Structure 1
């Protein structure tokens, strides 16, 4: 198995640069994970694919306003700080101060030990938030930094919402639409640097129709990191060091999984982040899922992995050579997935985060 096995030619013109006019009006490619059979549909048609007793599990995390555009203190030069994850073992957190792992630009001018501070002004031109670069991030961070965030506002949360921007994937350029369309309609706690995009296609009306049909709806939370956009650089994917993320699987979701199994229903993960959460909570000793509360997972799902919890997957189309291509190939097969992607490209599906969806059943 080589990383190149999960490569494909991605036509730039098929990378969706804006969401569908209607969330559930995008296209849906339905694939049988065992046979590879395909058929084309519209996302709201997923109602016809689901049946009473099925359980949909979604990642209810919300995207942080994690992209901060400011100026370096002392020189006034433009600088960007991207929040990745809060670090809790460095300094005590207060309402107005916290430590974060971040990415910075320009990296050469924002080095630890240089006293580098970036100030971020709100719409009135007042500095509402500052970031001091205090250390390098750990091994595997690819140039990340540790920064101390401070604010004169009532709270960091208030300051972030005054100066921050919702981060979009690097392949989405010049989007000037409603940033709320990069959030799911059921998103709750802000804890992610990227959206769990498979869930973007659900509307409140579609969710209610599914529930009325007898499809159960439960949640997990996985704090999505920016590494989700990075491709695998190792020739041998088994040598790739996948990022660690925090995830939560509530007890009610664990109970719902057991009840779905008893009724003969399927456990359907909405998105690869829900998939990783559900598979990470599997306890091999007890032979069943266990509730988790902000547990760490670095589960890397490659072909050959045995799925213990999930029976079907709602997902978007993914970047070539990514861990997500490997995950969906593990859930079906590399040949079936590559055939599905060839079909999607031939049929001019819209791809990646703002694009169309797949239902792998």
Structure 2
């Protein structure tokens, strides 16, 4: 595995930088800087998706036959890194990174032809119907029923922690179609329309004061069986495939950008001795240890990327990367809170809205320190808690 950039990759990096300098509107760059999670609002990410799609760069990880750019793994990494540095609003991962690859792997030709172009154009905005009250990391215990009725399923139950369901017009959903045998054997994977009668979305406001997640209720919701992905009662196979991409997809480019933000803050803010916090020996040591650990994650990502380039699935490596990335993000958030100081404790929802004319209290870089910290507390839980990821690694890699 080569870590140094080849000439073609250096040229590609310059191409990406030029594109971002010319095509990223200032208002979208501001929205990207103020985003406090891996999800930006659709009024920001959809215009950026359109710009990328016109260039053919909307889906870096998709095969060329489905509309991807045909990049190698290093090009994908360079693109992610440069977008993170430029502060582009993150695109919604639900369609591009999660259900899209699943449709490629398990969808019929009709499903591929219909859904994949719509994901690239932003015509379908997806949410994920996995977790339920009492069924989160133990996903096999889900209870939302789907009863067969001719060419349809009738759904009753609810899903919770459904990110951006209030914006989505589509959902990929796990439902229980059988109670016989092992719990995993009675689950089916469905693609459904959020505008279907009987679906109700109720907001859940996070600790950061944001409306990002929801609870979704289903009351005799009729879903065509043509929306099924894979075979009936075999949705667990599709779900595991999707989770490999949810947990292992992407890169640490955004985390590297977050650490750079902390570095800038630490040079701008004073420590207890009145000197820049970056010169404080204790902070400097914690920052250096974090930077070294992040470099180790980046090298591991590149090793996994080399395997993916050979046609392999992420497998257990996705659990390893999911665990390492989320805990690293939380570690960096903690440094960010320390660098922000007292201003990090001020709730400034209005000031951190893109385009707001409300002046922030304190430095602008302190606006998002606490919301990022609070939002990313969930990172070690969603996608399967990190405790579950360690069990996966122990079983698949160590044979325990």
TMscore range, shorter length: under 0.3
Q: Whose RCO is larger (CA < 8 A, sep 6+)?
A: 1
TM-score by length of 1: 0.25
TM-score, normalisation: structure 2: 0.24
